[in-house]
Amino acid sequence: ARLVVFVSGSGTNLQALLDACRDPAYGARVVAVGADRDGIAALGRAAAAGVPTFVHRVKDYPDRPSWDRAIRDATAAYEPDLLICAGFMKLFGVDFMAAFPERIINTHPALSPAFPGMHSARDALEYGVKVTGCTLFAVAGGIDDGPVIAQRAVPVEDDDDADTLHERIKVAERAMLVEYVGRMARGGWSITDRKVTVR
């Protein structure tokens, strides 16, 4: 399967996928990496793996829909089977979503529907939960609210701060992402009434 991965930061989830794809039995290849900004470590990881990258910054476009169509077209050129948002900090619009129905997944460092948004480890700590985790879901247009594909629970330690907690979550998150992307790539998937079946 042809994967396009979208990033906005350090790219450790991307790196986990790049490493997994080195095994021909994994059944997938990262054909491109897309980003909404330059100067992030994730782009360096793609370059080091010889994977093409494309960057589309919202501020370079007159409005959000034109950004959405530009990144849609750049992505479509790679003919992806599965699109993976791994630390991507933008929401795709209707034009992008329409081009890749049921083929966009996102990983989030919380047990959805708890703690959506960009500060989920901090929010979990502030709430005082004893268990948090990560969620892999099919992107349906909202913020971290699509049909759930997989989840992993991660304990909160008494001496955690947001960074130590997020790092612990990311260990589980990378394993979850690699497992399910491989299964989806090899066996396919279907989504019916918010239920995702991964063969």
Report the residue number, 66 or 164, with the smaller CB distance to ligand GRF.
164
Q: Is 12 assigned to a binding site?
A: yes
Residues 51, 35 contacting (CB under 8 angstroms) = no
Taking the complex as a whole, the smallest distance from the CB of residue 62 to ligand GRF amounts, in Å, to 27
> Annotated binding residue at 192?
no
Question: Any known ligand binding at 106?
Answer: yes
* Residue number, nearest CB to ligand GRF: 87
39 assigned ligand-binding residue: no
> Which residues in this chain contact ligand GRF in the complex, by CB under 6 A?
7, 9-14, 42, 86-87, 107-109, 170, 173
| Residue nearer to ligand GRF on the CB measure, 28 or 86 | 86
Let me know if 56 is a catalytic residue.
no
Calculated CA dihedral for residues 163, 169, 174, 180, nearest 10 degrees: -150
The 3-state secondary structure of the chain reads: CEEEEEECCCCHHHHHHHHHHCCHHHCCEEEEEEECCCCCHHHHHHHHCCCCEEECCHHHCCCHHHHHHHHHHHHHCCCCCEEEECCCCCCCCHHHHHHCCCCEEEEECCCCCCCCCCCHHHHHHHHCCCEEEEEEEECCCCCCCCCEEEEEEEECCCCCCHHHHHHHHHHHHHHHHHHHHHHHHHHCEEEECCEEEEC
Which of 56, 108, 119, 166 is the catalytic position?
Answer: 108
Of 10 and 53, the one with the shorter C-beta distance to ligand GRF is: 10
Confirm or deny that 122 is annotated as ligand binding.
Answer: no
CB of 47 to ligand GRF, least distance (A): 15
Q: Report in angstroms how near the CB of residue 136 gets to ligand GRF at its nearest.
A: 9
Residue 65 C-beta: closest distance to ligand GRF, Å? 24
Which residues are annotated as part of the binding site for (6R)-10-formyltetrahydrofolate? 64, 106
- Binding residues, as ranges, are 11-13, 64, 106
The residues that are catalytic are 108
